[in-house]
């Protein structure tokens, strides 16, 4: 049912290569960690592709493990990717999608985020991100938004739980700017923004957020994120269930005009 749970990104490739050379050298994760200033668990996370190599890990590991430049070459390729490895496959499909539908219940989705709001999200992340990683992810997130201006333009729809409009990430000025941005973006003909009010007695997607795509090959997919990454849903009946949930959710939410009125009211009340 689920494909691409952690993607086939550069972090996994580097981690596998690091593990290969470490094991070939007969060195434990703990021993390698002492050379590079990492704990055993941090080395393990790099090998699993769960965190990028920091500091001088690539250079030192290449030398002490006798990789003869292989880890250096793989490390250079890492810098070409600005997305978390598990998100790379989705981002590639999103950039070419003919339609994108998102339901969000925690924060306003990345495609709609202002720079200040997005930065606040990355700064709040735990474990904390390095400044250079925050800047790289921020640039990548803002670049993703170009998909909504692509020609031919994709059809894009959003359903936002009302409390995403009220969580003051980055402070009230940043939230007000973010809400004003929603009002501007929502006026585009290819984009619809709807709000799911908190006073609704029924809610079709209490099990969490989702993204539905129709690819450039007219293939339907769903993408679901969790704390540890994201995964695709591509097979029936699970795919159809998610599309059905989203359709009902749109009917339960405020229509785009009503949603704009609520967004405007929340912004003015800040």
- Domain borders along the chain are 8-78, 85-269
What is the C-alpha separation between 165 and 160, in angstroms, rounded? 8
Reported as a single tens digit per residue, the pLDDT across 56-83 is: 899 999 999 999 999 998 888 775 556 6
DSSP 255: P
85-269 fold: Endonuclease; Chain A (3.30.870)
What is the C-alpha separation between 113 and 266, in angstroms, rounded? 17
Reported as a single tens digit per residue, the pLDDT across 8-37 is: 467 788 999 999 999 999 999 999 999 999
CATH superfamily of 8-78: lambda repressor-like DNA-binding domains (1.10.260.40)
- Average pLDDT rounded to a whole number, residues 237-253: 97
End-to-end CA distance of the chain: 44
Q: Is the pTM of this model over 0.75?
A: no
**Confidence at residue 22, expressed as pLDDT on a 0 to 100 scale:** 95
């Amino acid at each position: 049912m689920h494909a691409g749970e952690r993607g086939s990104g550069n972090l996994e490739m580097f981690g596998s290569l690091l593990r290969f050379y470490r094991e070939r050298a007969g060195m434990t994760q703990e021993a390698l960690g002492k050379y590079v200033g990492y704990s055993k668990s941090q080395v393990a996370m790099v090998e699993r592709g769960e965190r990028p190599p920091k500091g001088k890990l690539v250079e030192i590991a290449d030398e002490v493990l006798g990789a003869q430049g292989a880890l250096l070459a793989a490390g250079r390729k890492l810098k070409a990717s600005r997305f978390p490895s598990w998100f790379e496959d989705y981002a590639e499909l999103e950039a070419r999608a003919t339609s994108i539908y998102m339901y969000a219940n925690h924060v306003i989705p990345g495609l709609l985020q202002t720079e200040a709001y997005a930065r606040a999200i990355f700064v709040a992340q735990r474990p904390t991100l390095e400044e250079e990683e925050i800047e790289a992810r921020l640039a990548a997130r803002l670049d993703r938004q170009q998909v909504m201006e692509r020609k031919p333009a994709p059809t894009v729809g959003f359903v936002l739980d009302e409390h995403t409009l009220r969580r003051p990430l980055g402070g009230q000025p940043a939230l007000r700017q973010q809400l004003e941005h929603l009002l501007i973006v929502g006026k585009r003909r290819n984009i619809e923004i709807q709000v799911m009010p908190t006073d609704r007695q029924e809610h079709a997607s209490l099990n969490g957020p989702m993204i539905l795509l129709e690819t450039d090959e007219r293939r339907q997919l769903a993408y679901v994120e969790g704390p540890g990454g994201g995964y695709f849903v591509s097979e029936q009946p699970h795919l159809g269930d998610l599309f059905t949930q989203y359709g009902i959710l749109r009917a339960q939410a405020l229509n785009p005009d009503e949603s704009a009125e609520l967004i405007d009211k929340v912004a003015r009340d800040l």
